[in-house]
Chain A
Amino acid sequence: MLCEMIKARIASDRLWSLQRQGRIGTIAPINGQEATTVGASWALDPAHDWILPQYREPLGLGRYGPEVLHRFTAWAIGHPQGGHIPEPIRVFPPQISLATQILHAVGLAWALKMRKEPAVALTFFGDGSTSEGDFYEAGNLAGVLEVPVIFLISNNQWAISTPTSRQTAAAGFAAKAEAFGIPGVTVDGNDPLAVMEVVAAARGHALAGNGATLIEAVNYRLGAHTTADDPTRYVPPEELAAAKERDPLIVFRRQLENRGIWDRAMQADAEKAGERAIDEAWAWASNLPLQQTALFDHVFAAPTPRQRQQRDAMTEYLGGAQ
């Protein structure tokens, strides 16, 4: 798990620099949310269980294979193949329209139940997303249908510049589960083992036919919201400094070192592996071929006459067959 967390942090930092060099578009770093993301994925079975992320988590889903990072890198570049995570990987592409994926997870879990597949759907979303109507509609529907879904709120304390105190007056986000008639749990999102444990319990609950669980994993966004954001305008420096003391990469490493199962050499190896992973992802993604007429592909199974006309006109404009 620590290797995967390190890999996520290194990939996040690398994409940040690539954005600063103007080589990719806007991205949202995962810094501070690695333990929540990796810990949750460790409780799942990649052969059966689905993950519906928002837009940070794909950096930390190495458990589902290196292809997830490859595609996420292509997505950050703006290549259409970035949104295509191939079969049989059970991961959805990043979701930009916040909270919509929570309903997709309920629908997907409903399909699993209909097909009697022994699997769950886990969806990640943030503290801000809990203010969206889709969160409430999804929680309510999951309660009614008793489907095998896990709602994981990665509470990083900030929705861009809006703190959690402006999102809710409730005692905590997990408390909202009560209104849905499902269990709600709060966990230390900086502790991957604790996250893994509660997700594993939620998975067991779902597989036993008992339906959904709402989990709030409390962590802290250590970086900016995205490459387009300047958090120094609103994050209190003393709060950030305190959060850095709880940086999951430092805390978990110390924990493992104290137990004698991690050392400097392992750390160096993990960092090397992390660099290699993002190197490979970048090499793959930045060498993908692309024709401009790909603009017209995959709207429907077959293009409409009008789309064909438009594509032909573009082909002609671009100077015949490319």
Chain B
Amino acid sequence: MTNDDNLREEETLTMVTAINQTLMAEMRRDERVMVFGEDVALSGGVFRATEGLMAEFGEDRVVDMPLAEAAILGAAAGLAAGGMVPVPEIQFLGFSYQAMHQLAGQIARFRYRTQSRFTMGITIRAPFGGGVRTPELHSDSLEGQLTNIAGLKIVTPATAADAKGLLTEAIRDPDPVVFLEPLRGYRGIKGPVPTGEHRVPFGQARWAAAGDDVTIIAWSYQVEVATRVARRFAEQGISVGVLDLRTLVPLDISSIVAAVERTGRVVIVEEAVPTAGFAAEIMATINEHAFYSLEAPPVRVSGFDTPYPVGMLEDSYVPDVRRIEAAVNQLLRAAP
């Protein structure tokens, strides 16, 4: 820690409050910033992430949109081309299927198609992930699908401080960012957040826990779960590290390599369908860059190759402490 960090003032916030305050700060800083989506203005958003914005910035900059996801993202593309800084919300990430042609076919490609004549400085906020007994399509973890779309940055904060630092960075980024907010984390994640301007650059993973025996690689809410696992192993004298990727695109390959070199044993946790998912991508990355540092085959703890299930089956689908512990134990038993 530098002196500067020590002197820095902090306050304890939930993730949703950190997000709300960041939106406020960015709208105050730059009058081109616009927030729009379903129920974001009058009601302040279904999770209250945009509460108070309309009161301060007015109905022109904080806008309740007709219920049409493609319209939200398609209009965002036009606004960005017209010099605004759109921060649209997709109410739940699963609803983005209804806008995927605008996201993957348009927003992600505009800079490339026009060789930077039109750029898409858009931050698309969307809650995702399980554990809160939602109806169908409200909990799906689609980050693996999104990382397969060239031209999007995929950001997955796991702490309240990172929610602020990464959202600030996203809004100021000249390219499209999908900013994924964990449903369970809105109020379930709470922590110290630096007051004043706070930026976290993309592509720099964070050690949520240091460890020498096994590394758990995770992002978003699963960092919280993995950290609990690490604490339990620490009580037994086993050192488990947790690497929080923070951003999936761009990916911090060197930190992943460093983790493999340090522990030789790696668990990757994701809430999504495992086939062709992002954990598989990390495994491929490890194979390409750190294969000879492995002491055991890496293990994935994922959802399953099923649609995201209904509430009464949800706890068996979403990775939890028990499943991650079992994976760590499997690696500890593995002999090189």
State whether these chains interact: yes
Could you tell me if B117 and A103 are in contact, using CB atoms closer than 8 angstroms?
no
Question: Is A318 an interface position by the 8 A CB rule?
Answer: no
Taking CB atoms, residues of chain A closer than 8 Å to B117 are 83-87, 93
Taking CB atoms, residues of chain A closer than 8 Å to B80 are 107
User: Chain A, interface size: which category?
Assistant: 35 or more
Could you tell me if B78 and A115 are in contact, using CB atoms closer than 8 angstroms?
no
- The distance in angstroms between the C-alpha atoms of A81 and B114, with both chains bound, is 7
Taking CB atoms, residues of chain B closer than 8 Å to A306 are 250-251, 253
Known contacts: A104-B81, A105-B78. The answer to whether A137 contacts B71 by CB under 8 A is yes
Known contacts: A107-B77, A107-B78. The answer to whether A100 contacts B106 by CB under 8 A is yes
Residues 130-180 of A contacting B (Cβ, < 8 Å): 133-134, 137-138, 140-141, 144
Question: Is A249 an interface position by the 8 A CB rule?
Answer: no
- Interface residue stretch chosen among B62-70, B157-165, B258-266: B62-70
Residues 74-108 of A contacting B (Cβ, < 8 Å): 80-81, 83-87, 92-93, 97, 100, 102-108
Could you tell me if A106 and B74 are in contact, using CB atoms closer than 8 angstroms?
yes
Taking CB atoms, residues of chain B closer than 8 Å to A141 are 65-66, 68, 71, 75
Taking CB atoms, residues of chain B closer than 8 Å to A111 are 78-79, 81-84
Taking CB atoms, residues of chain B closer than 8 Å to A299 are 111-112, 150-151
Whose C-beta in chain A lies nearest to the C-beta of B253? A305
Residues 105-125 of A contacting B (Cβ, < 8 Å): 105-112, 114-115, 121
The smallest C-beta distance from A53 to any residue of chain B, in angstroms, reads 13
- The distance in angstroms between the C-alpha atoms of A304 and B81, with both chains bound, is 23
Could you tell me if A106 and B115 are in contact, using CB atoms closer than 8 angstroms?
no
The smallest C-beta distance from B328 to any residue of chain A, in angstroms, reads 28
Known contacts: A100-B106, A144-B66. The answer to whether A138 contacts B74 by CB under 8 A is yes
Taking CB atoms, residues of chain B closer than 8 Å to A305 are 203, 250-251, 253-254
Taking CB atoms, residues of chain A closer than 8 Å to B101 are 97, 100, 134
Question: Is B41 an interface position by the 8 A CB rule?
Answer: no
Question: Is B60 an interface position by the 8 A CB rule?
Answer: yes
Could you tell me if A108 and B65 are in contact, using CB atoms closer than 8 angstroms?
no
Taking CB atoms, residues of chain B closer than 8 Å to A103 are 70-71, 74-75, 77-78, 102
Residues 228-248 of A contacting B (Cβ, < 8 Å): none
Question: Is B47 an interface position by the 8 A CB rule?
Answer: no
Could you tell me if B106 and A107 are in contact, using CB atoms closer than 8 angstroms?
no
Known contacts: A83-B115, A110-B82. The answer to whether A300 contacts B153 by CB under 8 A is yes
Could you tell me if A106 and B253 are in contact, using CB atoms closer than 8 angstroms?
no
Taking CB atoms, residues of chain A closer than 8 Å to B250 are 304-306
Could you tell me if A100 and B105 are in contact, using CB atoms closer than 8 angstroms?
yes
Could you tell me if A140 and B71 are in contact, using CB atoms closer than 8 angstroms?
yes
Question: Is A297 an interface position by the 8 A CB rule?
Answer: yes
A interface residues (Cβ-Cβ under 8 A, vs B): 80-81, 83-87, 92-93, 97, 100, 102-112, 114-115, 121, 133-134, 137-138, 140-141, 144, 297-301, 304-306
Cross-chain pairs A/B with CB under 8 angstroms, 20 sampled: A86-B117, A92-B81, A92-B114, A92-B118, A97-B106, A104-B77, A106-B71, A107-B81, A108-B78, A111-B81, A111-B82, A114-B82, A134-B102, A137-B66, A141-B65, A298-B111, A298-B115, A299-B151, A301-B111, A305-B203
B interface residues (Cβ-Cβ under 8 A, vs A): 34, 60, 65-66, 68, 70-71, 74-84, 86, 101-102, 105-106, 111-119, 150-151, 153, 174-175, 203, 249-251, 253-254
Given A83-B115, A103-B77, A111-B81, 13 further pairs, Cβ under 8 A: A93-B113, A106-B78, A108-B79, A110-B84, A111-B78, A111-B82, A112-B82, A134-B70, A137-B68, A141-B71, A300-B151, A300-B175, A306-B253
